Amino acid sequence: MLSAAQPLTPQQITDLQQCAAKAAHNAYAPYSHFRVGAAVLLSDSTIVTGCNVENASYRLTTCAEQNAITSAVAQHGPAIRIRAIAIANLNSAASQPCGACRQTIHEFSTPDTVIYFPNADGSFSHATIAELLPAAFLLNK
Ligand code: THU
């Protein structure tokens, strides 16, 4: 098995992005019409997906990334580590993870965790979670 620090191959990145795009088709987004999918690649090479699920009480909306990560924990347990996460939307728009999702990704990340996200022109960019959330909240009590 590849170590966590091993870069993903182009094929693995494409596979993960396609899983995210497929998951976006399940989005429940009758309010924003912004359909998002996320695919999480775990350190054991398992892929778990999620989509956004909105609510008439708007603030109860669950983002695709949070949906994927909570599903990953539910299916694989609390020790999961995220090797990479791909985000897609069906709106041909740029979509980086929101602040709350960055904190959720951080909770299960390693220093090498990479996020792949779409740009407005259809290309993808990537960044580490440390780059996207350089000052994550840590519970020190
Ligand atoms: N959304 C996500 O699924 N992930 C993000 O990181 C940002 C926003 C969703 C929430 C809502 O259903 C829609 O996109 C518009 O904000």
In a domain? residue 2: no
Residue 2: predicted pLDDT: 41
**84 - beta bridge partners?**
41, 114
Q: Determine the Cα–Cα distance for residues 16 and 37; give it in Å rounded to an integer.
A: 11
Residue 20: predicted pLDDT: 98
In a domain? residue 66: yes
Closest ligand 1 atom number to CA of residue 36: 3
How large a percentage of the chain has pLDDT more than 70? Answer: 96
Q: Which residues are catalytically annotated?
A: 65
CATH number for the domain spanning 31: value is 3.40.140.10
Domain that holds residue 95: 10-132
Q: What is the pTM of this model?
A: 0.95
Q: Tell me the per-residue pLDDT of 60-111, one tens digit each, with 9 for 90 and over.
A: 999 999 999 999 999 999 999 999 999 999 999 999 999 999 999 999 999 8
In a domain? residue 72: yes
In a domain? residue 24: yes
Helices 64-76 and 10-24, axial angle in degrees (round to 10):
110
Based on the structure, what is the number of domains in the chain? 1
pLDDT at 5 over 70: no
Closest ligand 1 atom number to CA of residue 65: 4
Q: Which residues contact 108 (CB under 8 A, 6 or more apart)?
A: 69, 72, 73, 80, 81, 82
In a domain? residue 29: yes
In a domain? residue 99: yes
Residues 87, 116: contact at Cβ < 8 Å? Answer: yes
Confirm or reject: Cβ of 61 under 6 Å from ligand 1.
yes
Q: Which residues contact 55 (CB under 8 A, 6 or more apart)?
A: 61
Confirm or reject: Cβ of 64 under 6 Å from ligand 1.
yes
Q: Which two three-digit tokens encode residue 133?
A: 């959330």
